[in-house]
A and B are shown apart, each in its own frame.
Chain A
Amino acid sequence: AQSVTQPDIHITVSEGASLELRCNYSYGATPYLFWYVQSPGQGLQLLLKYFSGDTLVQGIKGFEAEFKRSQSSFNLRKPSVHWSDAAEYFCAVGAGASKIIFGSGTRLSIRP
Chain B
Amino acid sequence: GAGVSQSPRYKVAKRGQDVALRCDPISGHVSLFWYQQALGQGPEFLTYFQNEAQLDKSGLPSDRFFAERPEGSVSTLKIQRTQQEDSAVYLCASGGGRTQETQYFGPGTRLLVL
Contact = CB atoms under 8 A, between A and B. Distances in A.
Contact of A98 (B40, B56, B106): B56
Contacts of B18: none
Contacts of A41: 107
A100 B91 contact: no
A97 B103 contact: no
Contacts of B4: 43
A96 B45 CA distance: 12
Contacts of A103: 42
B41 A104 contact: yes
B45 A99 contact: yes
B33 to A, nearest CB: 7
B43 A90 contact: yes
A105 to B, nearest CB: 5
Contacts of A46: 102-104
Nearest to A99: B45
B43 A102 contact: yes
Interface string A80-112: 000000000010101011111111110000000
Contacts of A44: 43, 91, 93, 105
Nearest to A107: B40
A27 interface: no
A6 B53 CA distance: 33
Q: Which of A42, A90, A99 has the most CB of B within 10 A?
A: A99
Interface of B: 3-4, 31, 33, 40-45, 48, 50, 55-56, 58-59, 91, 93, 99-100, 102-108
Q: Which 4 A-B pairs have the closest CB atoms?
A: A102-B42, A43-B105, A44-B105, A94-B100
